[in-house]
Amino acid sequence: MEKIGFIGLGIMGSRMAMNLQKAGYDLVIYNRTYEKAQSLVENGATWASTPGEVAGKVNVLITMLSTPGVVQEMTLGEQGFLHSLSKGSLWVNCSTVNPSFSRETEILSRPHHVRYLDAPVVGTKGPAEAGELLFLVGGAERDKKEVDVLFDSMGKKTLHLGAVGQAAAMKMLINQLLAQSVAAFAEALVMGEAMGLDQATLFDVLTATPVVAPVINALGPKLKKGDYEANFPLKWIQKDLHLSSISAYECGVAAPSLNAAKELYAQAKQQGYGDKDFSALYAFLNHRE
């Protein structure tokens, strides 16, 4: 089997890379913080000291980095990989970025003869670990087909949504609905408790109605225990809302409730909740001096 490059080994990337290893792939990996890559190296992955060094050793490269700015830095920065990928290589960007960034990135890849897929994922730490992510893919069908086998090793389903940028567009919508659903429920929970209803009753009654999003059932145990160890860091959902807001502006659509949610998460981040799970928005809203 050919060697696969993997850059960005945080909460999601480390688990996705682990599943590629389990499927028998030889990996060449890079992460800013080496410690997060250690178990992959112990399992046989080749460590590269720069993103460019990864690119020089592979024909397929997966990135799972935090923000568009970081993707840009890892791509075209001083130690970036775009110059080092060989002609005809395929770059699969799984990081959550906005559609226009994805399209611009694909255009920047063309002079290097690098093919580009945007491939954001739906699902958090648990599904990443279990190999049960949903991959949303934008780009050429033949490029997707070439790496379907990799998507199958990391996920349970892959959807081809059209040209580069269309997968990022769908991902924007999913995360804005996620953020808004959690914000609405957290606000109702705080208000219900303030009106004298106990938390268990609120969960039981509200989640049995069709007005509460199903994702609240998945977050219930964390919310009830006040366990805010990050599966999905709050700072990244706030980043996604910002990217959605950019997308709304770019396509000429007003998105008032999206922008209200964005500012709510921004306030929580400002108050120190950024590295906690995004469900900690409830703790932020519930905080009283």
Ligand X SMILES: NC(=O)c1ccc[n+]([C@@H]2O[C@H](COP(=O)([O-])OP(=O)(O)OC[C@H]3O[C@@H](n4cnc5c(N)ncnc54)[C@H](OP(=O)(O)O)[C@@H]3O)[C@@H](O)[C@H]2O)c1
Catalytic residues, by residue number, are: 171
Q: Which is nearer to ligand X, 153 or 238 (CB)?
A: 238
For the chain, what is the largest distance between any 2 Cα atoms, rounded to a whole number of angstroms? 65
Rounded Cα distance, 53 and 212, in Å? 47
Regarding 21 and contact with ligand X (CB under 6 A), the answer is no
Query: Shortest gap between Cβ of 214 and ligand X (angstroms)?
Result: 16
Query: Shortest gap between Cβ of 243 and ligand X (angstroms)?
Result: 9
Q: What is the DSSP letter of 275?
A: T
Q: What is the DSSP letter of 208?
A: T
Query: Using CB under 6 A as the criterion, what x/- string covers residues 80-99 for binding ligand X?
Result: ---------------xx---
Q: Which is nearer to ligand X, 32 or 156 (CB)?
A: 32
Is residue 174 within 8 A of residue 122, CB to CB? The reply is yes
Q: How many CB atoms lie within 10 A of CB 88?
A: 9
Return the closest-CA partner of residue 183 out of 175, 173, 171. Answer: 175
The packing angle between helices 166-194 and 199-207, to 10°, is 130
Q: Residues 18, 27, 45, 65: which binds ligand X (CB under 6 A)? A: 65
Q: Which is nearer to ligand X, 62 or 202 (CB)?
A: 62
Listed ranges 3-11, 147-155, 202-210, 217-225: which one lies at the site for ligand X (CB under 6 A): 3-11
Regarding 102 and contact with ligand X (CB under 6 A), the answer is no
Rounded Cα distance, 72 and 105, in Å? 8
Is residue 65 within 8 A of residue 94, CB to CB? The reply is no
Query: Shortest gap between Cβ of 11 and ligand X (angstroms)?
Result: 4
At 157, give phi and psi (nearest 5°): -155, 150
Instruction: Tell me which residues in 22-61 interact with ligand X (CB under 6 A).
Output: 31-33, 36
Listed ranges 38-46, 110-118, 233-241, 258-266: which one lies at the site for ligand X (CB under 6 A): 233-241
Regarding 137 and contact with ligand X (CB under 6 A), the answer is no
Q: Residues 61, 85, 90, 121: which binds ligand X (CB under 6 A)? A: 121
Is residue 5 within 8 A of residue 46, CB to CB? The reply is no
Structure tokens at 32: 């800013």
Which residues contact ligand X by CB under 6 A? 8-13, 31-33, 36, 64-66, 70, 73, 95-96, 121, 124-125, 231-233, 236, 240
